[in-house]
Amino acid sequence: MSRIRDNSISWETFNEGLWKENPVFVMLLGMCPVLAVTNSAMNALAMGIATAFVLVASSTLVSLLSKYIPKQVRIATYIIIIATFVTIVDYVIQAISLDLYNALGAFIQLIVVNCMILGRAESYASKYRPLKSIVNALGMSAGFTIALLSLGVVREILGAGSLFGIQLFGDNFQPWVVMVLPPGGFLVLGAWLLLFDWVNQRQQKKAEKQEAHHAS
């Protein structure tokens, strides 16, 4: 494979995942952990970090090895690489905290099938140099973690009246239980998507207006 691509690293390389192509709010990838484990801020943060580790590590390895991987077996190879790092994360979380491990449940193992990670390996890491892939993976991870956190924080505050396990309100607070249940995930995700799109559209309109202004 000839490397004619631009391998220079810029803010855009990082920002792509953080904002422009945010895996959750723009591409809507990896919805399964997004909806399932964001019932508390701590779970969301842990899931974000675990996914970030797998994404960065697998992107690095895929990028390093891409020259040697024949096209026909590339998906199988990527899956092996991703599964390896997921298993490593699984062990590490068990070693750090069993409570956290039980709270995240099967969703740690399910990082394997997070399409964001396979998508990055296929469409980015296999095409660019390791350093650029790492920067991009870091951006994507940051975008993913922030998205998970923004869901987790809202759901925990509304659904349990606490943040990172610390009670925010007095005993009289009646938790809005549905928020920590699966439907709450959809509601909060919908609200965030609405906000994200609205901001994006406003920015676009502003840019158009400015262009029109310059033209006239």
Q: Which positions from 130 through 159 interact with other proteins, judged by CB under 8 A?
A: 159
Beta bridge partners of 162: 167
- Does 68 bind other proteins (CB under 8 A)? Our answer is yes
Shortest spacing between CB 197 and other proteins, in angstroms: 22
Q: Which positions from 1 through 30 interact with other proteins, judged by CB under 8 A?
A: 1-2, 4-5
24: left (phi over 0), alpha (psi -120 to 50) or beta: alpha
Among the candidate windows 73-81, 144-152, 188-196, 208-216, which touches other proteins by CB under 8 A? 73-81
Distance between CA atoms of residues 76 and 81, nearest Å: 9
Q: x-or-dash pattern for other proteins, window 92-131, by CB under 8 A?
A: x-xxxxx---x--x--------------------------
Our CB check for other proteins shows the closer of 31 and 103 to be 103
∠ CA 175-180-182, nearest 5°, is: 140
Q: x-or-dash pattern for other proteins, window 174-193, by CB under 8 A?
A: -x-x--xx------------
Cβ neighbourhood burial of 63 (10 Å; 0-12, 13-18, 19+): buried
Our CB check for other proteins shows the closer of 92 and 207 to be 92
Shortest spacing between CB 126 and other proteins, in angstroms: 11
Show the tokens assigned to 184. Answer: 């709450």
Give Cα separations from 190 to 34, 177, 183 (angstroms).
Answer: 12, 18, 11
Beta bridge partners of 163: 166
* Cα 211 to the center of its chain, rounded Å: 33
Cβ neighbourhood burial of 46 (10 Å; 0-12, 13-18, 19+): buried
Amino acid at 155: R
- Does 170 bind other proteins (CB under 8 A)? Our answer is no
Helix (H, G, I), strand (E, B) or coil at 171: coil
Among the candidate windows 10-18, 27-35, 75-83, 129-137, which touches other proteins by CB under 8 A? 75-83
Is 145:52 a contact under the CB 8 Å cutoff? yes
Shortest spacing between CB 144 and other proteins, in angstroms: 22
Show the tokens assigned to 205. Answer: 């309109």
Among the candidate windows 16-24, 44-52, 84-92, 198-206, which touches other proteins by CB under 8 A? 84-92
Q: How many residues bind other proteins (CB under 8 A)?
A: 35
Which chain residues interact with other proteins by CB under 8 A? Answer: 1-2, 4-5, 39, 65, 68-73, 76-77, 80-81, 83-85, 87-88, 91-92, 94-98, 102, 105, 159, 175, 177, 180-181
